[in-house]
Chain A
Amino acid sequence: MMLRSLLRSWNTFFFEKQSPTPIALFRIAYGVLVIATLLLLRPDWLTWYGTHAWISLRTMQTIEPGRRLDLFTIIPQTDGWIDALFWGVLSSAILLTLGLFTRINSVIVFVCLASIQQRNLFITNSGDTFLRVTGFFLIFAPAGATLSLDRLTRIWRGKEDVLIRPQSPWAQRMIQIELALLYFAAFCWKVKGPLWLHGTALYYVYHLDAIKRFPVTSWLLRPTMLKLGSWSALTLEFSLGVLIWIKKLRYILLALGLLFHLCLEYSLNVPMFQWDVLSAYILFVDPAHITRASNWIRRRVFASEINR
Protein backbone atom coordinates (compact mmCIF):
# COMPACT_ATOMS: atom_id res chain seq x y z
CA MET A 1 0.00 0.00 0.00
CA MET A 2 2.76 2.39 1.03
CA LEU A 3 4.83 1.40 -1.99
CA ARG A 4 1.87 2.09 -4.23
CA SER A 5 1.34 5.56 -2.79
CA LEU A 6 5.07 6.20 -3.08
CA LEU A 7 4.98 5.23 -6.74
CA ARG A 8 1.96 7.45 -7.27
CA SER A 9 3.77 10.38 -5.67
CA TRP A 10 6.86 9.70 -7.80
CA ASN A 11 4.75 9.65 -10.96
CA THR A 12 2.89 12.81 -10.01
CA PHE A 13 6.11 14.62 -9.11
CA PHE A 14 8.03 13.72 -12.25
CA PHE A 15 5.39 13.10 -14.88
CA GLU A 16 2.20 15.04 -14.14
CA LYS A 17 2.06 17.43 -17.04
CA GLN A 18 2.39 21.12 -16.30
CA SER A 19 2.99 24.36 -18.13
CA PRO A 20 6.51 24.58 -19.60
CA THR A 21 6.69 28.32 -18.80
CA PRO A 22 9.03 27.95 -15.76
CA ILE A 23 11.55 25.84 -17.68
CA ALA A 24 11.35 28.24 -20.64
CA LEU A 25 12.03 31.20 -18.33
CA PHE A 26 14.91 29.25 -16.80
CA ARG A 27 16.25 28.59 -20.32
CA ILE A 28 16.30 32.33 -21.02
CA ALA A 29 18.01 33.14 -17.71
CA TYR A 30 20.45 30.26 -18.21
CA GLY A 31 21.32 31.44 -21.72
CA VAL A 32 21.91 35.00 -20.53
CA LEU A 33 24.15 33.73 -17.71
CA VAL A 34 26.20 31.56 -20.09
CA ILE A 35 26.62 34.56 -22.41
CA ALA A 36 27.67 36.77 -19.47
CA THR A 37 30.14 34.14 -18.22
CA LEU A 38 31.71 33.81 -21.67
CA LEU A 39 31.90 37.58 -22.15
CA LEU A 40 33.55 38.07 -18.75
CA LEU A 41 36.10 35.50 -19.83
CA ARG A 42 36.47 37.02 -23.32
CA PRO A 43 39.74 38.98 -22.73
CA ASP A 44 41.40 35.79 -21.47
CA TRP A 45 40.02 33.08 -23.78
CA LEU A 46 43.48 32.38 -25.16
CA THR A 47 45.26 33.15 -21.89
CA TRP A 48 43.51 30.26 -20.19
CA TYR A 49 42.75 27.94 -23.08
CA GLY A 50 45.07 28.92 -25.98
CA THR A 51 48.16 27.15 -27.27
CA HIS A 52 50.33 29.08 -24.79
CA ALA A 53 47.85 28.97 -21.92
CA TRP A 54 48.87 28.99 -18.26
CA ILE A 55 48.28 25.25 -18.15
CA SER A 56 49.04 23.18 -21.21
CA LEU A 57 46.54 20.60 -22.42
CA ARG A 58 49.12 17.87 -21.75
CA THR A 59 49.60 18.95 -18.12
CA MET A 60 45.85 19.05 -17.62
CA GLN A 61 45.53 15.52 -19.00
CA THR A 62 48.34 14.34 -16.70
CA ILE A 63 46.69 15.84 -13.62
CA GLU A 64 43.18 14.72 -14.57
CA PRO A 65 43.63 11.45 -16.46
CA GLY A 66 40.89 9.32 -17.96
CA ARG A 67 38.31 9.80 -20.65
CA ARG A 68 36.56 13.15 -20.61
CA LEU A 69 33.96 14.88 -22.72
CA ASP A 70 36.44 17.50 -23.91
CA LEU A 71 36.36 19.04 -27.38
CA PHE A 72 39.82 20.52 -26.80
CA THR A 73 41.28 17.04 -27.21
CA ILE A 74 39.61 16.72 -30.62
CA ILE A 75 40.07 20.11 -32.26
CA PRO A 76 43.45 21.13 -33.71
CA GLN A 77 45.50 22.95 -31.09
CA THR A 78 45.73 26.33 -32.75
CA ASP A 79 44.55 29.64 -31.38
CA GLY A 80 42.23 30.06 -34.37
CA TRP A 81 40.35 26.84 -33.63
CA ILE A 82 40.16 27.58 -29.93
CA ASP A 83 38.80 31.06 -30.63
CA ALA A 84 36.29 29.53 -33.06
CA LEU A 85 35.09 27.13 -30.36
CA PHE A 86 34.38 30.04 -28.05
CA TRP A 87 32.57 32.02 -30.75
CA GLY A 88 30.61 28.86 -31.53
CA VAL A 89 29.42 28.35 -27.97
CA LEU A 90 28.64 32.05 -27.64
CA SER A 91 26.45 31.89 -30.76
CA SER A 92 24.78 28.75 -29.49
CA ALA A 93 24.08 30.38 -26.14
CA ILE A 94 22.43 33.32 -27.94
CA LEU A 95 20.26 30.95 -29.98
CA LEU A 96 19.40 28.98 -26.85
CA THR A 97 18.29 32.18 -25.13
CA LEU A 98 16.11 33.05 -28.11
CA GLY A 99 14.82 29.50 -28.25
CA LEU A 100 15.84 28.78 -31.82
CA PHE A 101 16.78 25.13 -32.44
CA THR A 102 16.58 24.88 -28.67
CA ARG A 103 17.39 21.20 -28.21
CA ILE A 104 20.45 21.13 -30.43
CA ASN A 105 21.76 24.38 -28.95
CA SER A 106 21.28 23.11 -25.40
CA VAL A 107 23.43 20.10 -26.34
CA ILE A 108 26.11 22.33 -27.93
CA VAL A 109 26.18 24.68 -24.94
CA PHE A 110 26.48 21.82 -22.45
CA VAL A 111 29.21 20.00 -24.38
CA CYS A 112 31.20 23.20 -24.89
CA LEU A 113 30.81 24.32 -21.26
CA ALA A 114 31.93 20.89 -20.06
CA SER A 115 34.91 21.02 -22.45
CA ILE A 116 35.92 24.53 -21.41
CA GLN A 117 35.84 23.55 -17.75
CA GLN A 118 37.65 20.25 -18.31
CA ARG A 119 40.38 22.13 -20.17
CA ASN A 120 41.24 24.13 -17.05
CA LEU A 121 39.61 22.96 -13.84
CA PHE A 122 41.78 25.27 -11.75
CA ILE A 123 39.89 28.44 -12.64
CA THR A 124 36.44 26.91 -12.34
CA ASN A 125 34.17 28.22 -9.60
CA SER A 126 30.90 26.91 -8.17
CA GLY A 127 28.85 29.07 -10.55
CA ASP A 128 30.51 27.36 -13.53
CA THR A 129 29.83 23.96 -11.99
CA PHE A 130 26.18 24.84 -11.50
CA LEU A 131 25.82 25.97 -15.13
CA ARG A 132 27.46 22.75 -16.28
CA VAL A 133 25.35 20.30 -14.28
CA THR A 134 22.06 22.09 -14.84
CA GLY A 135 22.93 22.40 -18.53
CA PHE A 136 23.05 18.61 -18.69
CA PHE A 137 19.44 18.26 -17.51
CA LEU A 138 18.28 21.22 -19.61
CA ILE A 139 19.08 19.10 -22.68
CA PHE A 140 16.20 16.78 -21.77
CA ALA A 141 13.69 19.51 -20.86
CA PRO A 142 10.98 20.95 -23.13
CA ALA A 143 12.79 24.27 -22.84
CA GLY A 144 11.69 25.50 -26.24
CA ALA A 145 8.02 24.62 -25.74
CA THR A 146 7.14 28.25 -25.06
CA LEU A 147 8.68 31.73 -25.09
CA SER A 148 10.82 30.65 -28.01
CA LEU A 149 11.34 31.24 -31.70
CA ASP A 150 10.88 27.49 -32.14
CA ARG A 151 7.30 27.81 -30.91
CA LEU A 152 6.62 30.80 -33.14
CA THR A 153 7.89 28.77 -36.08
CA ARG A 154 5.65 25.83 -35.15
CA ILE A 155 2.61 28.12 -34.85
CA TRP A 156 3.44 29.74 -38.18
CA ARG A 157 3.70 26.31 -39.83
CA GLY A 158 0.38 25.29 -38.32
CA LYS A 159 1.90 22.48 -36.26
CA GLU A 160 0.81 24.04 -32.97
CA ASP A 161 -2.00 26.32 -31.84
CA VAL A 162 -1.67 29.33 -29.57
CA LEU A 163 -2.52 27.33 -26.45
CA ILE A 164 0.59 26.19 -24.62
CA ARG A 165 0.57 22.42 -24.30
CA PRO A 166 1.46 21.04 -20.83
CA GLN A 167 4.61 18.94 -20.70
CA SER A 168 6.12 16.29 -18.49
CA PRO A 169 8.42 18.16 -16.06
CA TRP A 170 10.90 15.40 -15.12
CA ALA A 171 13.97 17.22 -16.43
CA GLN A 172 12.88 20.40 -14.66
CA ARG A 173 12.52 18.39 -11.45
CA MET A 174 16.10 17.17 -11.82
CA ILE A 175 17.35 20.76 -11.97
CA GLN A 176 15.27 21.53 -8.87
CA ILE A 177 16.76 18.49 -7.11
CA GLU A 178 20.22 19.63 -8.18
CA LEU A 179 19.62 23.04 -6.58
CA ALA A 180 18.29 21.51 -3.37
CA LEU A 181 21.26 19.14 -3.21
CA LEU A 182 23.62 22.08 -3.69
CA TYR A 183 22.24 23.72 -0.55
CA PHE A 184 22.09 20.49 1.43
CA ALA A 185 25.66 19.52 0.47
CA ALA A 186 26.87 23.04 1.34
CA PHE A 187 25.20 22.67 4.73
CA CYS A 188 26.79 19.23 5.31
CA TRP A 189 30.25 20.56 4.39
CA LYS A 190 29.86 23.49 6.75
CA VAL A 191 28.73 21.47 9.76
CA LYS A 192 31.90 19.42 9.36
CA GLY A 193 33.93 22.50 10.25
CA PRO A 194 34.19 23.64 13.88
CA LEU A 195 34.39 27.32 12.87
CA TRP A 196 30.90 27.20 11.37
CA LEU A 197 29.45 25.47 14.41
CA HIS A 198 31.26 27.89 16.70
CA GLY A 199 29.93 30.77 14.65
CA THR A 200 33.28 32.40 13.80
CA ALA A 201 33.59 31.26 10.18
CA LEU A 202 32.19 34.49 8.73
CA TYR A 203 34.85 36.51 10.56
CA TYR A 204 37.46 34.87 8.33
CA VAL A 205 35.32 35.08 5.18
CA TYR A 206 34.74 38.82 5.60
CA HIS A 207 38.43 39.53 6.21
CA LEU A 208 39.66 37.83 3.05
CA ASP A 209 40.90 40.80 1.03
CA ALA A 210 40.71 39.01 -2.32
CA ILE A 211 36.96 38.43 -2.21
CA LYS A 212 35.74 41.68 -0.72
CA ARG A 213 33.47 43.78 -2.89
CA PHE A 214 31.56 46.65 -1.29
CA PRO A 215 32.30 47.66 2.31
CA VAL A 216 30.19 46.06 5.03
CA THR A 217 29.10 48.32 7.87
CA SER A 218 31.21 47.75 11.02
CA TRP A 219 28.37 46.75 13.36
CA LEU A 220 27.63 43.80 11.10
CA LEU A 221 31.17 42.58 11.66
CA ARG A 222 30.80 42.45 15.45
CA PRO A 223 31.28 38.93 16.93
CA THR A 224 27.60 38.54 17.89
CA MET A 225 26.39 39.54 14.44
CA LEU A 226 28.92 37.29 12.73
CA LYS A 227 27.83 34.38 14.91
CA LEU A 228 24.22 35.04 14.01
CA GLY A 229 25.22 35.31 10.36
CA SER A 230 27.15 32.02 10.40
CA TRP A 231 24.29 30.13 12.05
CA SER A 232 21.68 31.79 9.83
CA ALA A 233 23.63 30.68 6.76
CA LEU A 234 23.63 27.11 8.10
CA THR A 235 19.90 27.19 8.88
CA LEU A 236 19.02 28.69 5.53
CA GLU A 237 21.16 26.26 3.54
CA PHE A 238 19.55 23.33 5.36
CA SER A 239 16.07 24.77 4.78
CA LEU A 240 16.65 25.48 1.10
CA GLY A 241 17.98 21.95 0.71
CA VAL A 242 15.26 20.08 2.59
CA LEU A 243 12.26 22.23 3.53
CA ILE A 244 11.97 23.79 0.06
CA TRP A 245 9.89 20.74 -0.94
CA ILE A 246 7.15 21.73 1.50
CA LYS A 247 4.79 23.85 -0.57
CA LYS A 248 3.65 26.10 2.29
CA LEU A 249 7.22 27.14 3.14
CA ARG A 250 8.48 27.45 -0.42
CA TYR A 251 7.91 31.14 -1.17
CA ILE A 252 9.17 32.28 2.24
CA LEU A 253 12.34 30.25 1.76
CA LEU A 254 12.80 31.50 -1.79
CA ALA A 255 12.46 35.09 -0.56
CA LEU A 256 15.00 34.47 2.21
CA GLY A 257 17.30 32.75 -0.26
CA LEU A 258 17.03 35.71 -2.62
CA LEU A 259 17.93 38.10 0.19
CA PHE A 260 20.82 35.85 1.25
CA HIS A 261 22.30 35.75 -2.26
CA LEU A 262 21.83 39.48 -2.82
CA CYS A 263 23.72 40.16 0.43
CA LEU A 264 26.52 37.86 -0.75
CA GLU A 265 26.52 39.53 -4.18
CA TYR A 266 26.93 42.92 -2.48
CA SER A 267 29.68 41.93 -0.09
CA LEU A 268 31.69 39.20 -1.83
CA ASN A 269 33.40 39.24 -5.20
CA VAL A 270 32.32 35.84 -6.53
CA PRO A 271 31.17 36.82 -10.02
CA MET A 272 28.06 35.14 -11.38
CA PHE A 273 27.61 32.45 -8.71
CA GLN A 274 24.71 34.16 -6.97
CA TRP A 275 22.91 34.82 -10.27
CA ASP A 276 23.56 31.28 -11.51
CA VAL A 277 21.92 29.85 -8.41
CA LEU A 278 19.08 32.39 -8.32
CA SER A 279 18.16 31.60 -11.94
CA ALA A 280 17.00 28.15 -10.83
CA TYR A 281 14.58 29.66 -8.29
CA ILE A 282 12.22 30.27 -11.22
CA LEU A 283 11.66 26.51 -11.40
CA PHE A 284 10.13 26.49 -7.94
CA VAL A 285 7.49 29.06 -8.83
CA ASP A 286 4.03 27.66 -9.56
CA PRO A 287 3.27 28.07 -13.30
CA ALA A 288 -0.17 29.46 -12.39
CA HIS A 289 1.51 32.23 -10.39
CA ILE A 290 3.82 33.02 -13.31
CA THR A 291 0.78 33.33 -15.59
CA ARG A 292 -0.98 35.56 -13.04
CA ALA A 293 2.13 37.73 -12.69
CA SER A 294 2.58 38.04 -16.46
CA ASN A 295 -1.13 38.94 -16.87
CA TRP A 296 -0.76 41.58 -14.17
CA ILE A 297 2.33 43.04 -15.89
CA ARG A 298 0.56 42.96 -19.25
CA ARG A 299 -2.47 44.75 -17.80
CA ARG A 300 -0.23 47.41 -16.24
CA VAL A 301 1.70 47.91 -19.49
CA PHE A 302 -1.48 48.14 -21.56
CA ALA A 303 -3.08 50.48 -19.02
CA SER A 304 -0.12 52.83 -19.16
CA GLU A 305 -0.14 52.65 -22.99
CA ILE A 306 -3.84 53.57 -23.06
CA ASN A 307 -3.34 56.38 -20.54
CA ARG A 308 -0.63 57.79 -22.75
Chain B
Amino acid sequence: MKTRYNLANHANFEMKKKAYWHRLLTQFGSRELSKAQIFWRQRAKRIAINLFLGFHILAITCWCVPLDTPLFSLGKNLVRPYFLWAGLFQSWDMFAPTPALANSYVEAIVVYKDGSRRTWSFPRMEQLSLSDRYFRERYRKFSENLQNDQNDALWPDVARRIARANSTPSNPAKTVILVQRWSPIVPRADGSYQPEPWDQHVLYGYGVKREDLQ
Protein backbone atom coordinates (compact mmCIF):
# COMPACT_ATOMS: atom_id res chain seq x y z
CA MET B 1 0.00 0.00 0.00
CA LYS B 2 2.77 2.31 1.04
CA THR B 3 4.77 1.45 -2.12
CA ARG B 4 1.75 2.22 -4.33
CA TYR B 5 1.29 5.52 -2.54
CA ASN B 6 4.97 6.35 -3.10
CA LEU B 7 4.79 5.47 -6.79
CA ALA B 8 1.72 7.66 -7.29
CA ASN B 9 3.44 10.45 -5.47
CA HIS B 10 6.55 10.02 -7.58
CA ALA B 11 4.55 10.08 -10.86
CA ASN B 12 2.74 13.19 -9.69
CA PHE B 13 6.02 14.85 -8.85
CA GLU B 14 7.52 13.94 -12.25
CA MET B 15 4.47 15.39 -14.07
CA LYS B 16 4.68 18.61 -12.08
CA LYS B 17 8.40 18.82 -12.82
CA LYS B 18 7.82 18.35 -16.57
CA ALA B 19 5.09 21.00 -16.56
CA TYR B 20 7.39 23.38 -14.72
CA TRP B 21 10.21 22.96 -17.24
CA HIS B 22 7.79 23.27 -20.15
CA ARG B 23 6.46 26.55 -18.75
CA LEU B 24 9.98 27.82 -18.15
CA LEU B 25 11.19 26.94 -21.64
CA THR B 26 8.12 28.47 -23.27
CA GLN B 27 8.76 31.67 -21.36
CA PHE B 28 12.25 31.82 -22.83
CA GLY B 29 10.90 31.43 -26.37
CA SER B 30 11.81 27.77 -26.76
CA ARG B 31 9.46 25.60 -28.85
CA GLU B 32 9.18 22.09 -30.22
CA LEU B 33 11.76 21.42 -32.94
CA SER B 34 10.68 20.23 -36.36
CA LYS B 35 12.26 17.14 -37.92
CA ALA B 36 14.28 19.31 -40.30
CA GLN B 37 15.60 21.40 -37.47
CA ILE B 38 16.65 18.30 -35.54
CA PHE B 39 18.41 17.00 -38.67
CA TRP B 40 20.32 20.25 -39.20
CA ARG B 41 21.27 20.50 -35.56
CA GLN B 42 22.63 16.99 -35.60
CA ARG B 43 24.46 17.73 -38.82
CA ALA B 44 26.02 20.88 -37.34
CA LYS B 45 27.05 18.92 -34.26
CA ARG B 46 28.66 16.22 -36.42
CA ILE B 47 30.56 18.85 -38.46
CA ALA B 48 31.80 20.52 -35.27
CA ILE B 49 33.00 17.18 -33.86
CA ASN B 50 34.74 16.34 -37.14
CA LEU B 51 36.54 19.69 -37.14
CA PHE B 52 37.55 19.12 -33.52
CA LEU B 53 38.86 15.63 -34.34
CA GLY B 54 40.71 16.65 -37.50
CA PHE B 55 42.33 19.63 -35.81
CA HIS B 56 43.45 17.71 -32.73
CA ILE B 57 44.83 14.72 -34.64
CA LEU B 58 46.91 17.01 -36.89
CA ALA B 59 47.95 19.28 -34.04
CA ILE B 60 49.03 16.48 -31.68
CA THR B 61 50.93 14.76 -34.50
CA CYS B 62 52.79 17.97 -35.37
CA TRP B 63 53.50 18.62 -31.70
CA CYS B 64 54.84 15.28 -30.56
CA VAL B 65 56.36 13.56 -33.60
CA PRO B 66 59.92 14.89 -33.89
CA LEU B 67 60.13 15.29 -37.65
CA ASP B 68 62.26 18.25 -38.72
CA THR B 69 60.16 19.35 -41.66
CA PRO B 70 58.94 22.92 -42.27
CA LEU B 71 55.33 21.71 -42.24
CA PHE B 72 55.64 20.12 -38.80
CA SER B 73 57.47 23.18 -37.42
CA LEU B 74 54.80 25.48 -38.83
CA GLY B 75 52.03 23.30 -37.38
CA LYS B 76 53.73 23.24 -33.98
CA ASN B 77 54.13 27.02 -33.92
CA LEU B 78 50.52 27.56 -34.92
CA VAL B 79 49.07 25.37 -32.18
CA ARG B 80 51.59 26.39 -29.49
CA PRO B 81 49.42 29.05 -27.74
CA TYR B 82 46.40 26.75 -27.62
CA PHE B 83 48.39 23.71 -26.49
CA LEU B 84 50.21 25.61 -23.77
CA TRP B 85 47.00 27.17 -22.53
CA ALA B 86 44.88 24.01 -22.59
CA GLY B 87 47.58 21.73 -21.20
CA LEU B 88 47.79 19.56 -24.32
CA PHE B 89 51.57 19.97 -24.71
CA GLN B 90 53.38 16.64 -24.55
CA SER B 91 56.72 15.07 -25.20
CA TRP B 92 57.53 11.38 -25.40
CA ASP B 93 61.31 11.45 -25.45
CA MET B 94 61.89 8.98 -22.62
CA PHE B 95 65.62 8.04 -22.54
CA ALA B 96 65.90 9.53 -26.03
CA PRO B 97 67.46 10.50 -28.32
CA THR B 98 70.35 9.72 -25.93
CA PRO B 99 69.88 8.38 -22.41
CA ALA B 100 71.82 10.03 -19.58
CA LEU B 101 75.46 9.02 -19.89
CA ALA B 102 76.39 9.62 -16.27
CA ASN B 103 75.07 9.10 -12.78
CA SER B 104 74.62 12.47 -11.19
CA TYR B 105 73.03 14.35 -8.34
CA VAL B 106 72.91 17.83 -6.85
CA GLU B 107 74.10 18.83 -3.43
CA ALA B 108 74.38 22.16 -1.70
CA ILE B 109 77.17 23.49 0.43
CA VAL B 110 75.71 25.80 3.04
CA VAL B 111 78.15 28.30 4.53
CA TYR B 112 76.98 29.78 7.86
CA LYS B 113 77.49 33.17 9.45
CA ASP B 114 80.00 31.71 11.94
CA GLY B 115 82.07 30.27 9.06
CA SER B 116 81.05 26.65 9.50
CA ARG B 117 79.85 24.55 6.53
CA ARG B 118 77.31 21.85 5.96
CA THR B 119 76.61 19.71 2.92
CA TRP B 120 72.97 19.13 2.08
CA SER B 121 71.79 16.79 -0.66
CA PHE B 122 68.53 16.18 -2.48
CA PRO B 123 67.08 12.76 -1.61
CA ARG B 124 68.97 10.23 -3.70
CA MET B 125 66.80 7.36 -4.91
CA GLU B 126 69.55 4.75 -4.64
CA GLN B 127 69.82 5.50 -0.92
CA LEU B 128 66.09 5.26 -0.19
CA SER B 129 63.87 2.32 0.67
CA LEU B 130 61.61 0.89 -2.02
CA SER B 131 58.49 2.65 -0.73
CA ASP B 132 60.30 5.96 -0.21
CA ARG B 133 61.46 5.81 -3.81
CA TYR B 134 57.81 5.75 -4.89
CA PHE B 135 56.93 8.76 -2.78
CA ARG B 136 60.03 10.84 -3.40
CA GLU B 137 60.73 10.19 -7.08
CA ARG B 138 59.77 13.80 -7.84
CA TYR B 139 63.03 14.87 -6.19
CA ARG B 140 64.98 12.83 -8.74
CA LYS B 141 63.14 14.49 -11.59
CA PHE B 142 63.61 17.92 -10.05
CA SER B 143 67.30 17.34 -9.40
CA GLU B 144 67.72 16.11 -12.99
CA ASN B 145 66.12 19.32 -14.30
CA LEU B 146 68.23 21.49 -12.00
CA GLN B 147 71.39 20.18 -13.65
CA ASN B 148 70.31 21.53 -17.00
CA ASP B 149 71.89 24.96 -17.63
CA GLN B 150 68.75 26.00 -19.50
CA ASN B 151 66.91 25.88 -16.19
CA ASP B 152 69.26 28.30 -14.41
CA ALA B 153 66.28 30.50 -13.50
CA LEU B 154 65.36 27.85 -10.92
CA TRP B 155 68.62 28.09 -9.00
CA PRO B 156 67.95 31.23 -6.88
CA ASP B 157 64.62 29.81 -5.63
CA VAL B 158 66.27 26.50 -4.80
CA ALA B 159 69.17 28.18 -3.00
CA ARG B 160 66.74 30.31 -0.96
CA ARG B 161 64.73 27.28 0.11
CA ILE B 162 67.84 25.35 1.12
CA ALA B 163 69.02 28.40 3.09
CA ARG B 164 65.65 28.60 4.90
CA ALA B 165 65.63 24.89 5.70
CA ASN B 166 69.18 24.90 7.03
CA SER B 167 69.26 28.09 9.10
CA THR B 168 68.77 28.74 12.78
CA PRO B 169 68.12 32.21 14.23
CA SER B 170 71.48 32.09 16.00
CA ASN B 171 73.42 30.82 13.00
CA PRO B 172 71.80 31.74 9.69
CA ALA B 173 73.05 30.56 6.31
CA LYS B 174 75.23 33.16 4.57
CA THR B 175 75.98 31.47 1.26
CA VAL B 176 74.53 28.49 -0.61
CA ILE B 177 76.55 26.81 -3.35
CA LEU B 178 74.78 24.35 -5.63
CA VAL B 179 77.11 21.63 -6.84
CA GLN B 180 76.50 18.98 -9.48
CA ARG B 181 78.30 15.70 -8.82
CA TRP B 182 78.62 13.17 -11.61
CA SER B 183 80.25 9.90 -12.51
CA PRO B 184 80.33 8.85 -16.18
CA ILE B 185 78.99 5.46 -17.24
CA VAL B 186 81.65 3.83 -19.40
CA PRO B 187 80.67 0.72 -21.36
CA ARG B 188 83.19 -2.10 -21.38
CA ALA B 189 83.64 -4.69 -24.09
CA ASP B 190 82.59 -7.57 -21.82
CA GLY B 191 79.51 -5.69 -20.69
CA SER B 192 80.68 -5.36 -17.10
CA TYR B 193 80.28 -2.13 -15.19
CA GLN B 194 82.83 -0.37 -13.01
CA PRO B 195 81.72 2.86 -11.30
CA GLU B 196 83.97 5.73 -12.34
CA PRO B 197 85.27 8.36 -9.88
CA TRP B 198 82.94 11.25 -9.07
CA ASP B 199 83.60 14.65 -10.53
CA GLN B 200 81.98 17.93 -9.54
CA HIS B 201 80.89 21.17 -11.08
CA VAL B 202 79.62 24.29 -9.35
CA LEU B 203 76.25 25.26 -10.72
CA TYR B 204 75.53 28.38 -8.73
CA GLY B 205 76.48 30.40 -5.69
CA TYR B 206 73.93 32.51 -3.83
CA GLY B 207 74.46 35.15 -1.17
CA VAL B 208 71.59 34.74 1.29
CA LYS B 209 69.70 37.91 2.26
CA ARG B 210 67.92 38.40 5.56
CA GLU B 211 64.48 38.48 3.92
CA ASP B 212 65.16 35.10 2.26
CA LEU B 213 65.03 33.44 5.66
CA GLN B 214 61.52 34.65 6.54
The 9 closest A-B pairs by CB, nearest first: A193-B97, A114-B87, A189-B96, A192-B97, A185-B92, A123-B138, A209-B126, A189-B93, A122-B145
A181 touches B60 (CB 8 A): yes
**B140 on interface, CB distance cutoff 8 Å:** yes
Q: Which parts of A150-194 form the interface with B (CB within 8 Å)? A: 170, 173-174, 177-178, 181-186, 188-190, 192-194
B141 touches A185 (CB 8 A): no
- Looking at the complex, which one of B64, B99, B134, B190 makes contact with A204 (CB distance below 8 Å)? B99
- Looking at the complex, which one of A55, A185, A194 makes contact with B65 (CB distance below 8 Å)? A185
**B105 on interface, CB distance cutoff 8 Å:** yes
CB distance from A305 to the nearest CB of B (A): 30
A209 touches B103 (CB 8 A): yes
Q: Which parts of A71-130 form the interface with B (CB within 8 Å)? A: 110, 113-114, 117-118, 122-126, 129
- Bound CA–CA A67/B50 (angstroms): 27
A269 touches B142 (CB 8 A): no
- Bound CA–CA A232/B90 (angstroms): 24
CB distance from A1 to the nearest CB of B (A): 20
**Residues on A with beta carbons closer than 8 Å to the beta carbon of B174:** none
Q: List 5 A-B contacts (CB under 8 A).
A: A185-B91, A204-B99, A208-B99, A208-B100, A221-B193
Q: Which among A16-24, A27-35, A195-203 touches the partner chain? A: A195-203
B125 touches A181 (CB 8 A): no
B49 touches A269 (CB 8 A): no
- Bound CA–CA A154/B53 (angstroms): 29
Residues of A within 8 A of B (CB): 10, 14-15, 40-41, 43-44, 48, 52-56, 59, 62-64, 66-69, 110, 113-114, 117-118, 122-126, 129, 132-133, 136, 170, 173-174, 177-178, 181-186, 188-190, 192-196, 200-201, 203-205, 207-213, 221-223, 226, 269-271
**Residues on A with beta carbons closer than 8 Å to the beta carbon of B56:** 174
Q: Which among B25-33, B78-86, B110-118, B199-207 touches the partner chain? A: B78-86
A133 touches B126 (CB 8 A): no
Interface size on B, residues (CB 8 A): 62
**Residues on A with beta carbons closer than 8 Å to the beta carbon of B124:** 209-210
A210 touches B157 (CB 8 A): no
**B135 on interface, CB distance cutoff 8 Å:** yes
Known: A185-B66, A185-B92, A223-B191. A210 touches B87 (CB 8 A): no
**Residues on B with beta carbons closer than 8 Å to the beta carbon of A205:** 95, 99
- Bound CA–CA A53/B142 (angstroms): 12
Q: Which parts of B152-173 form the interface with A (CB within 8 Å)? A: 153-154, 156-158, 161, 164
Known: A205-B99, A209-B125, A213-B130. A184 touches B65 (CB 8 A): yes
**B61 on interface, CB distance cutoff 8 Å:** yes
> Which residue on A lies nearest to B127, using beta carbons?
A209
- Bound CA–CA A211/B157 (angstroms): 26
Per-residue contact bits, chain B 176-214, to A (CB 8 Å; 1 contact, 0 not): 000000000101011101000000000000000000000
> Which residue on B lies nearest to A234, using beta carbons?
B96
A226 touches B94 (CB 8 A): no
**B37 on interface, CB distance cutoff 8 Å:** no
**B16 on interface, CB distance cutoff 8 Å:** no
- Bound CA–CA A200/B101 (angstroms): 11
Known: A63-B153, A136-B86, A174-B56. A201 touches B95 (CB 8 A): yes
**Residues on A with beta carbons closer than 8 Å to the beta carbon of B65:** 181, 184-185, 188
**B3 on interface, CB distance cutoff 8 Å:** no
B96 touches A186 (CB 8 A): yes
- Looking at the complex, which one of A40, A67, A125, A222 makes contact with B141 (CB distance below 8 Å)? A125
CB distance from B135 to the nearest CB of A (A): 6
**B151 on interface, CB distance cutoff 8 Å:** yes
> Which residue on A lies nearest to B190, using beta carbons?
A223
- Bound CA–CA A192/B60 (angstroms): 20
A211 touches B85 (CB 8 A): no
- Bound CA–CA A226/B145 (angstroms): 27
**Residues on B with beta carbons closer than 8 Å to the beta carbon of A196:** 96-97
**Residues on B with beta carbons closer than 8 Å to the beta carbon of A110:** 87
CB distance from B140 to the nearest CB of A (A): 5
**Residues on A with beta carbons closer than 8 Å to the beta carbon of B105:** 210
